[in-house]
A and B are shown apart, each in its own frame.
Chain A
Amino acid sequence: MKVIEVKNISKTYTLGAAAKDSIVDTFRGLFKPSSSSKQTFNALTDISFDVDQGEVLGIVGKNGAGKSTLLKVLSRITEPTNGEIVMRGRVASLLEVGTGFHPELSGRENIFLNGSILGMTRAEIKSKFDEIVAFSGVEKFIDTPVKHYSSGMYVRLAFSVAAHLEPEILIIDEVLAVGDAEFQKKCLGKMKDVAGQGRTVLFVSHNMAAVKGLCSRAILVENGKLALNSFEVEEVVQLYSRQGKEDQGGSSLVTFENKPNSVLELGLKDEESNLILNSGNLSFRVKFHLEIPEGADLNIAFFTSDHQKLFVLLGNEINNGDGFKIGVNELIFTLPKYILNKGKYYINISMHKNYSDFLFAKREAFYFTIEESSVVYNKYPNLVPGPINLY
């Protein structure tokens, strides 16, 4: 059964109008439609899709592509300019965790407040109260004002309330990007449960691993339109990953601001661009500056383009524990032959002292693409999936 039918939705914003409107115009507008010609912006253009009951639909797209507007329209926060949406069942939307949380109120009071805002009745909240508290893990502080909570506790409590909503249709925006890794895992598990109970979920995320793991279908939003006619998760994820900034072959080296105690350069040693045709010998070079080398180390983390961490290399190990010198250091390291499969990857690099204080950190510092990897790839092109390749 179709639970959600989205038919030709468009949303147009008038640019710069809010501040410039005069009161007179508005009062005139009360009685007759305004005829002014203002600059407009189409945040969404002619979007249509259906969602069946029990389906988990991923909504994927770059920042500014229109995902948030789509969610706002779907969750009735704002009206579409054109088109129609039909929803069958109780809808709850979670565009943020902890909406309406008040710092002066205790955890207990905020559960009731936030639950009501999310659309639960008092009786419902009461019956789930213990579960919510247990899931959040803040039992001890449940009667403390939340302004004294750590940000992690705050977010855990907020998510717990949301996780215990029992709507037929749930709309979620990237709320999983909260809390520590362990809690994120718990959240993902909870989401899987929700989906398993025959409820319909719309899930917006940048985390392709989560999309792959949770969604049965997906749509890709680009410039306010559906970029792909297909709803296959795999296709959508691939196209999205290709849209990333690593798209075209770029420089084989990135440089950073020349400052003391920071990474200066990171890139591939013997390549002309960051597009590598064959990953036979993949050597990287990193240049960095240190004022006090004692206790300092470098952390080089490799990720797939959908943000799965692959492995981490430590500067001191690459250097065989020889330590670093004051001033500019250079490290060269080579990955085992053919280890990376065909695909896009990036490196997070950070420099820290005594494994705790960060001197420098850069996420997605360097992107590179491997077009073809192992020697056996040509022989079995479809049989060697996954980022790591051992042949």
Chain B
Amino acid sequence: MMELKISSNSPTKFSTIVTDLWNYKDLIAILAWRDYKVRYAQTFLGFVWAFIQPLATLLIFTLIFSRVAKVDTGSTPYPLFAQSGMLAWTYFAFLISQAGNSIVGAQAMVKKIYFPRLVIPISKAIVGLIDFMISLVILIVIGVYYQFVPSANILYLPLFILLLIIGGLGVGIWVSALTVRFRDFTHLLPFMVQIGMYASPVAYAANMVPEKYQWLYALNPMVGVIEGVRWSIIGGEAPGQLIFFSIGVMLLLFLTSLWYFKKVERVMADLI
């Protein structure tokens, strides 16, 4: 028979995090499904909204950055260029804001029932994947329109998607645990998302940043990831060493977020 010991300061092993999450995989799935199901409840357009939002953003980007600001993307049509950046950024932004607010948003549950709390932010990564797929469909339609043929780099795309998930969860889990104690992060998140987008090569190319500021720019781990995603879709100059820095930072964020989350989890119901 399964034996469970509850005591203060029982050490957290990484393996228990994994088995806990595996045991609760049904809950992760159903929470993600609930979020998606509820999102367009009682709307007239329903699922169409999932397309309208990214399309509208793309249209505005194209008007402002391509027509007004005349961003040079070389031989690549601007919509294709921007959409490949947005594909990565939108998912990341969704994940950090949704996962970041997820624990506080689920406080009624947290106070009343036990389950591994990590289930909550992690389920957001799955919800985000649905939007990611929609963005991908839009990208493919644009690609077909411009008769664009991707290179073999495309094989690397899943790797970058994995990096996006890990990085987004890393930041999201950190914020979700910090928000339990400091609601300040709820207010900080929108800024992080907004500033983050301009500090990342979403609407413009990374090489447009002046040479002498490149090192500062590269400190943003999303620069490497977005450049990587774009490279795997469109091709061109490989992101080089930058990408290893990004992988390192994202992994570090992710692992430390698990550690800090587990630490807060013990008192989550008391603090929230």
The 8 A CB mask of B1-14 against A (1 = contact, 0 = none) is 11111111000000
Interface locus among A79-87, A178-186, A230-238, A257-265: A79-87
User: Are A85 and B6 within 8 A (Cβ)?
Assistant: yes
CB distance from B194 to the nearest CB of A (A): 22
Q: In the complex, which of the residues B7, B38, B260 has the most CB atoms of chain A within 10 Å of its own CB atom?
A: B7
User: Are A122 and B26 within 8 A (Cβ)?
Assistant: yes
Q: A83 to B113, alpha carbons, bound, how many Å?
A: 21
Q: A87 to B4, alpha carbons, bound, how many Å?
A: 5
Given A80-B8, A117-B109, does the pair A109, B37 have CB atoms closer than 8 Å? yes
Q: In the complex, which of the residues A81, A84, A116 has the most CB atoms of chain B within 10 Å of its own CB atom?
A: A116
Q: A388 to B8, alpha carbons, bound, how many Å?
A: 50
User: Number of contacting residues on A, CB 8 A?
Assistant: 45
Q: A113 to B28, alpha carbons, bound, how many Å?
A: 10
**Which residues of A99-131 are within 8 A (CB) of B?**
99-100, 102, 104-105, 109, 112-113, 116-119, 121-122
The 8 A CB mask of B242-272 against A (1 = contact, 0 = none) is 0000000000000000001001001111110
* Contacts beyond the supplied A83-B7, A105-B34: 19 A-B pairs with Cβ under 8 Å: A26-B182, A77-B111, A77-B113, A78-B267, A79-B7, A79-B267, A81-B8, A84-B7, A88-B2, A90-B2, A95-B113, A100-B109, A100-B113, A105-B37, A105-B38, A109-B37, A113-B30, A116-B30, A117-B27
Is A390 in contact with chain B by the CB < 8 A criterion?
no
Residues of chain B within 8 A (CB-CB) of A109 are: 34, 37
Given A93-B113, A102-B34, A116-B27, does the pair A83, B267 have CB atoms closer than 8 Å? no
Provide 11 A-B residue pairs closer than 8 Å at the C-beta atoms, listed in order of the A residue.
A74-B6, A80-B6, A84-B5, A84-B7, A85-B6, A90-B2, A91-B4, A96-B113, A116-B30, A118-B113, A122-B26
User: Are A117 and B8 within 8 A (Cβ)?
Assistant: no
Using CB atoms and an 8 Å cutoff, list the residues of chain B in contact with chain A: 1-8, 26-27, 30-31, 34, 37-38, 41-42, 108-115, 181-182, 184, 260, 263, 266-271
Q: A76 to B265, alpha carbons, bound, how many Å?
A: 11
Q: A30 to B37, alpha carbons, bound, how many Å?
A: 38
User: Are A117 and B113 within 8 A (Cβ)?
Assistant: yes
For the residues of B in contact with A, the DSSP-based class is helix
Q: A378 to B162, alpha carbons, bound, how many Å?
A: 82
CB distance from A40 to the nearest CB of B (A): 12
The 8 A CB mask of A4-44 against B (1 = contact, 0 = none) is 00000000010000100101001000100000000000000
User: Are A76 and B109 within 8 A (Cβ)?
Assistant: no
User: Are B26 and A77 within 8 A (Cβ)?
Assistant: no
Residues of chain A within 8 A (CB-CB) of B3 are: 86-88
User: Are B26 and A116 within 8 A (Cβ)?
Assistant: yes
Is A75 in contact with chain B by the CB < 8 A criterion?
yes
From B1, which residue of chain A is reached at the shortest CB distance?
A: A88
With beta carbons under 8 angstroms apart, the residue of B5, B113, B184, B268 that contacts A75 is B113
Residues of chain B within 8 A (CB-CB) of A89 are: 1-2
Q: A113 to B32, alpha carbons, bound, how many Å?
A: 10
By Cβ-Cβ distance, the 4 closest A-B pairs, closest first, are A76-B114, A104-B41, A84-B7, A85-B6
Q: A104 to B39, alpha carbons, bound, how many Å?
A: 10
CB distance from A151 to the nearest CB of B (A): 17
Q: A122 to B29, alpha carbons, bound, how many Å?
A: 10
CB distance from A79 to the nearest CB of B (A): 5
From A173, which residue of chain B is reached at the shortest CB distance?
A: B112
From A91, which residue of chain B is reached at the shortest CB distance?
A: B4
Given A83-B7, A105-B37, A105-B38, does the pair A78, B112 have CB atoms closer than 8 Å? no
Residues of chain B within 8 A (CB-CB) of A72 are: 269
Q: A75 to B37, alpha carbons, bound, how many Å?
A: 30
Q: A109 to B30, alpha carbons, bound, how many Å?
A: 10
User: Are B38 and A76 within 8 A (Cβ)?
Assistant: no
User: Are B6 and A79 within 8 A (Cβ)?
Assistant: yes
Residues of chain A within 8 A (CB-CB) of B1 are: 88-89, 168
User: Are B112 and A84 within 8 A (Cβ)?
Assistant: no
Is A384 in contact with chain B by the CB < 8 A criterion?
no
Q: In the complex, which of the residues B5, B34, B109 has the most CB atoms of chain A within 10 Å of its own CB atom?
A: B34
Given A117-B27, A122-B26, does the pair A104, B112 have CB atoms closer than 8 Å? no
User: Are B6 and A73 within 8 A (Cβ)?
Assistant: yes
